[in-house]
Amino acid sequence: MTIADRIQSLRKAKGISQEQLADKIGVSRQAISKWESEQSSPDLEKIILLSNYFEVTTDYILKGIESKHDLTDKRKVDARVLSAIATFINFIALIVAINIWIEKQNPSSVAVGFIIMAFGCMIFVIGQLIGENVKASTNFFGLINVWFLSLIPISCIFNFLQGKLGGFWWTFTPIPQMGNSYVAYGLCWLFYFVFCVGVDVVIIVNNRKLFCRKKKA
């Protein structure tokens, strides 16, 4: 692997375009293009800037020699694994909360659900902080977990508004409760569905735009 290959590999691993790297280093996009196509090589000053930006040693850029720091980075946990674990925990949290409500009809089911989900989200955040493949794990987590994490808050808000406006008893529950209006109940589920699908569409569209920018770079 040449210097050109290593610069290109580091740039793509960072998920940035040639133009974005050029802005970070203080050169033109054409200069980055020439480095990566072996038409020219960066001078010592630019190599130092590259090593600082990519958090590797100058020896790695010049010779491909990996330091202990580089080898440690390769042993990072995959954030996608922690994201999957967090997703499973959040799913279990929703199921547990619903079961508690069905069996005991107690609003504490909402608290239990939130507590377990908080633990699941903490696992996800840890993965973002210490793991690799952060972007992919974020997309995966967002696409699926919006369906788990939003149901309880939407249900609680719906029950509150329906109870106050409808003038009947209400309480916080992990799923929407039927009041005196089938239309309102149906609209609640429709809002939940549209909201979750909307979030998923935004994530997918943004991911495609990022993919297209990388492809052009």
User: What average pLDDT does the segment 102-129 reach?
Assistant: 96
Q: What is the pLDDT of residues 169-178, one digit of tens each?
A: 889 999 999 8
Residue 48 is part of a domain; what is its CATH number?
A: 1.10.260.40
| pLDDT cut 90: percent of the chain above it | 69
pLDDT band at 72 (very low <50, low <70, confident <90, very high): very low
End position of a domain, from candidates 74, 94, 122: 74
Q: Which residue range(s) make up the domain with 178?
A: 79-216
- Give the residue with greater pLDDT, 13 vs 174: 174
In this prediction, residue 194 carries a pLDDT of 98
User: What average pLDDT does the segment 203-217 reach?
Assistant: 71
In this prediction, residue 92 carries a pLDDT of 98
In the predicted model, is pLDDT for residue 217 greater than 60? no
Claim to verify: residue 110 and residue 40 sit in the same structural domain: no
- Give the residue with greater pLDDT, 64 vs 37: 37
Note if the pTM is more than 0.75: no
Look up residue 153 and give its amino acid: P
| Mean per-residue pLDDT over the chain, rounded | 89
Claim to verify: residue 186 and residue 86 sit in the same structural domain: yes
In this prediction, residue 169 carries a pLDDT of 82
In this prediction, residue 168 carries a pLDDT of 79
In this prediction, residue 122 carries a pLDDT of 97
Of the ranges 14-23, 34-43, 144-153, the best mean pLDDT one: 144-153
Claim to verify: residue 67 and residue 148 sit in the same structural domain: no
**Least confident interval from 43-47, 54-58, 80-84, 213-217:** 213-217
In this prediction, residue 174 carries a pLDDT of 96
Claim to verify: residue 99 and residue 46 sit in the same structural domain: no
User: What average pLDDT does the segment 200-206 reach?
Assistant: 93
End position of a domain, from candidates 74, 100, 128: 74
Claim to verify: residue 100 and residue 185 sit in the same structural domain: yes
- Give the residue with greater pLDDT, 216 vs 140: 140
pLDDT band at 133 (very low <50, low <70, confident <90, very high): confident
Domains in the chain, number: 2
Claim to verify: residue 89 and residue 67 sit in the same structural domain: no
